[in-house]
Amino acid sequence: MLSRNSIREHLMNLSAAVWYPFETWRGTIGLLVVTFVTYVLLILSTMPEFSLQMLGDGLHWFEYVLVSLTETVYRTDGWTGLGTIVLYALLSGVAIVNAAAQLRIVGLSSLTDLSGVLPGLLASGCASCGAGLLGFLGFAGGLALLPYDGALLRVGGLALLVFFLGRAGHPEQCAIPTEVSR
């Protein structure tokens, strides 16, 4: 059973993890770049055939494809669908910037705290259709059979991202409390 202190600690760790990229210009720029790239990949994955056909004809179609698919997500799923994509891209940016910081500071063994983010990345990749990276791996048909068009899977993926970011906390601080021996 969760106590109030553990929930409070988790929320404090989550807050520290989310605010970490904004502590330096380098982290903020990294967050913005990763968030934008993730948003573009999520939007392009909503209609992969359309994206490939248009961009295969030339990169001058990139802006048209991005705007058209963003509008399609909005018209299909409304603000909720578009907000889910933006939130997913933002949390992915935070997770990747924090993972890079942990890797830089402590080394490869430190990434165990953020290793649980992987299921969230796999499950809720395409926040508008629910397929995500699992769809690219051939599981789109199975995901289409899920209730609410995979919305629960998207929410579950976002919950995993939030949970594991809260568990990891600030990359430069240890999230595990230590006891002082007397």
pLDDT of residue 96: 87
Give the C-alpha separation, 90 to 39, whole Å. Answer: 8
Q: What percent of the chain has pLDDT over 90?
A: 20
Both structure tokens of 145: 């059979």
Dump pLDDT digits (tens) for 153-164.
677 778 888 888
**Domain boundaries, given as residue ranges, for the chain:** 4-168
Dump pLDDT digits (tens) for 111-148.
555 555 555 454 444 444 444 444 445 555 555 565 55
What pTM, to 2 d.p., does this model score? 0.73
DSSP 28-73: HHHHHHHHHHHHHHHHHTTSHHHHHHHHHT-GGGHHHHHHHHHHHH
